Structure 1
Amino acid sequence: MDHFLGIFVVANCYRNGIGVVRSLQNANYWYQKERDKQLVATRELPYNVDNGLKNMLLENKYRLSWIPYNEFKNIEKIGEGGFATVYYAVWDNKYLDADIPAALKIIHRSKKYSEKDYSEQFIKELKAYCDIGYDNPSFLECYGVTMDDVSKEYIIVMRHALEGCLRKNLSSVAMMGWQNKLTLLLCIISDLKTIHSKKYYSSRFT
């Protein structure tokens, strides 16, 4: 576990210029090393998983795992939007024997959509995150997919961002020196550039 966190810390230091010369190339290298380290083989999938999603998991292009819902604990709501709710959770990763902070994005069903439409909507959302992270490992990493045991709604499992969003960090940003503020701005620009290069656009900046 210490080795896993150490790799992540090194990546963040290069990304944010903490104690080293800032280098997105070096940051991406270490983020990729972290991703390789935490990779968990996809386990046997539940019988009711959509075939399109099943194929996406099994082809392994994005190195996603099917994660049993009962491996998450200390779940608490941290945000919601029009069609999704985001929770913070601790992932009891059996493979690494480690507790990993994670964000769970539940994509809600809509009565006006069929089961097929719902699955296609989820896969589209999942693929958007994965396409961005595939080219830019410093972007929020997707660990895999799970399903709510009660609602049977699909969930995207991602690396948890400290404090969740920019708005919640404004008090900390205000206390930064100008060099650190500039570094943060460059990181935001880098992520937005990656998002736009994939023809995706963010409707909520904060």
Structure 2
Amino acid sequence: MKMKIANGVDIDNKFLSEIAYSIEESHGISQNPITKDFILIFQLKYYCENCGERYNNQFEMDNKSCILCQINHENDKINDLIQEMRLNVNHNSSEVDMIFEWIPYDQFVDIKEIGKGGFSKVYSAIWKDGLLFYKKGRYYWERVPNTRVALKCLYNSQNFIDKFINEVKAYPNQKIDNILKIYGISQNPNTKDYIMVFEYAEATGRQPFDDCAHDEVLALNICKGIIPKINEQIAPKCYIDLMKRCLDLNPENRPNSIEIKEIIELFYNSLDQEFKKEQQHHEIEEQFKTAQESRKTNLLLNKSNKSKIHTQAIYTSRLLNPFIINLFGSNTIDFRM
């Protein structure tokens, strides 16, 4: 039970209005014989057990804690961000499939660096408690323990809170096809860097040009038309054809944005089970299915037989000025932008 007290002996209009508003959820009224305060008696399930405020949605009721009590960070801007990301979602809708969270850093295990840039590092990790999502059709929330996630750690982000917040807001925190979701944020307790926690995406396991030095020679070869090696077993032929056209040395042969959009829509419709398909759609669908099976096998092989990456293959953001100077000094290439 929860009791709400109205001070004073007199029952004013405000108290009467509250009784009328809450009549379906209340068990009645009472009075303290000593203070003479009137008391409204409610079912506890409608009110936060921590602060006593009324829940705003079913998610808060299920967790027995309101949004504000679930957010407990020392930085007010971070608290406001989490609250905003949550309030932007209708948690009572059957379409909601996950909840944005502040995730304590000790929730992550098996942390491995998988990428590095000039402004951030990216890690893979296992989130012990796991993603919290809405069980559609059953109307309750459930966690998926041991969820693999990607952690994007932004250097010195504790000193650039506003920039960090803007980057977080740029990502969708709900299901949008073909876009990675952001599950929440965290903070490294040692470096104090803030972390964006993303849905983990499996790729081919290979970086482009991983078998050669990333120097002016490679830059020159790229200008001459060299493209990354393509394993045609793990990518659909239609996708490879589009990639080669986009990377064509002659700009006149490259598709424009409208054509690319139409081709991607063709891919999408081919994989849509509800779309009325023609022969072309079925052929593309089969290409994607075959490539996906090969990709899974290839990932397992890569994990068991790790290929060596060239010692001078660098995947960190860096200035290209030295390369550009050398390229402009070369008379072996005709630059066409």
How high is the TM-score relative to the length of structure 2? 0.36
1:80 aligns with 2:116: yes
Deviation at 1:48, TM superposition (A): 1.9
Distance 2:196 2:204 in 1: 15
Cα 1:167–1:64 change in 2 (3 A) is same
2:170 equivalent in structure 1: 128
1:146 aligns with 2:146: no
Residues 71 and 83, structure 2, Cα contact 8 Å, conserved in 1 = no
Which stretches in structure 1 are left out of the alignment for 5+ residues?
1-35, 191-203
Distance 2:190 2:202 in 1: 28
Deviation at 1:125, TM superposition (A): 1.3
How high is the TM-score relative to the length of structure 1? 0.55
Kindly report which structure 2 residues correspond to 1:3-152, keeping only aligned pairs within 5 A, or say none. Answer: 44-49=70-75, 51-59=76-84, 60=86, 61=88, 63-93=99-129, 96-109=143-156, 115=159, 118-130=160-172, 136-152=176-192
Deviation at 1:127, TM superposition (A): 1.3
| SS in structure 2 at match of 1:96 | strand
- Greater relative CO, 1 or 2 (CA 8 Å, sep 6+): 1
Q: 2:237 aligns with which of 157, 173, 178?
A: 178
Residues 92 and 100, structure 1, Cα contact 8 Å, conserved in 2 = yes
Distance 1:48 1:181 in 2: 49
Residues 175 and 181, structure 2, Cα contact 8 Å, conserved in 1 = no
Higher-Rg structure is 2
Range with greater deviation from structure 2 (72-81 or 121-130): 121-130
Give the letter aligned to residue 237 of structure 2. W
Percent identity reads 25
Cα 1:183–1:68 change in 2 (3 A) is farther
Cα 1:83–1:177 change in 2 (3 A) is closer
1:201 equivalent in structure 2: none
Across the two proteins, how many residue pairs are aligned to each other? 144
Structure 1 vs Structure 2 CA RMSD: 3.9
1:12 equivalent in structure 2: none
Question: Could you list the per-position Cα deviations for residues 110-148 of structure 1 after superposition, in whole angstroms to 9, with x for gaps in the alignment?
Answer: 7xxx83xx1011111111223xx6583430110000111
Distance 2:127 2:242 in 1: 30
Deviation at 1:166, TM superposition (A): 7.7
Question: Could you list the per-position Cα deviations for residues 4-40 of structure 1 after superposition, in whole angstroms to 9, with x for gaps in the alignment?
Answer: xxxxxxxxxxxxxxxxxxxxxxxxxxxxxxxx9xxx9
| SS in structure 1 at match of 2:148 | strand
